[in-house]
Amino acid sequence: MKKVIAVSATLCLLLSGCSQVDSLLEKVPFLQKDNESESTIDKTDANKEQQDLNQETDQAEEDVPTLDAKFFNEVKVVDGKNVIQNPTNFLVLVNKELSLPDGYIPEDLVRPNVLFSFGDQDIEKSYMRQDAATALEIMFEEAKKAGIHLFAVSGYRSYTRQSQVFSAEVSKFGEENASLSVAIPGTSEHQTGLSMDLSSQSAQFELSEQFGETTEGKWMAENAHHYGFILRYPKGKEGITGYKYEPWHFRYVGKEAAAVIYENKWTLEEYFGTVKKI
């Protein structure tokens, strides 16, 4: 009689459907704990992933260098050209798309006390802006201590002189090719008074890619940032700068910016495309 009752109870359970089975399963303690544990683990993993992502984002934002707004170009469109309104800013970005104001001449030009490839001639290209000239003097002196003998070749270049240089290059190679190595008047870094072309006796005092292979050229590439200078037109960045590789052309931007640019292997364009304005 007991067997019949047990069978009947089992049949009743089977016939009653899944709802009752589910209800009974929900009341089984060890199954309940497993389900809750899996759910908790899933939520914990998801939270950890989100926290990691947030930390990575915060870290990325912290790693982005900041720069005071006063060092960014103030630009105004004049006759279809982007003309810089604050050219005295020593971090001024001048390139094929950003021009200096017509007739701009820095007011603090001085002749640095360094060796020039043309001797003691007191001519336009021997000048630089005061801060850049002082930094150049220090760099030359430190280079000399290291057995490196540098020569300054060409610094400040007026709009008029740039026009002459550009015209001469066009007559030799055509305007398209000329613009790859010589700036159109008004867009030259030399006009800022913050750049200096360098060479050495080992490079025959010439401005050529050969300088980059000399002991002096290599020293400059590795050490210029310590004195606030950057290699303005590096190899492999022609598509960004718009100019061919120029291992002789160094631009003063100050030690802080120079260090960041050097460490990240950036151009000045990439620097301004990355830094956060504050």
Residues with catalytic annotation? 246
| Token pair recorded at residue 167 | 């015209």
Q: Which residue has the tokens 């020293």?
A: 219
The burial class, CB within 10 Å (0-12 / 13-18 / 19+), for 195 is buried
Query: In this structure, are residues 86 and 73 in contact, taking their beta carbons and an 8 Å threshold?
Result: yes
DSSP-based helix, strand, coil % in the chain, nearest 5 = 50, 15, 35
- Of 193, 36, 220, nearest in space to 107 by CA: 193
| Token pair recorded at residue 207 | 């401005």
Q: What whole-number distance in Å separates Cα of residue 174 and Cα of residue 170? A: 4
Alpha helices for the chain (secondary structure H): 2-15, 18-26, 29-63, 130-145, 159-173, 175-178, 215-223, 238-241, 255-264, 268-274
Q: Which residue has the tokens 């003998």?
A: 149
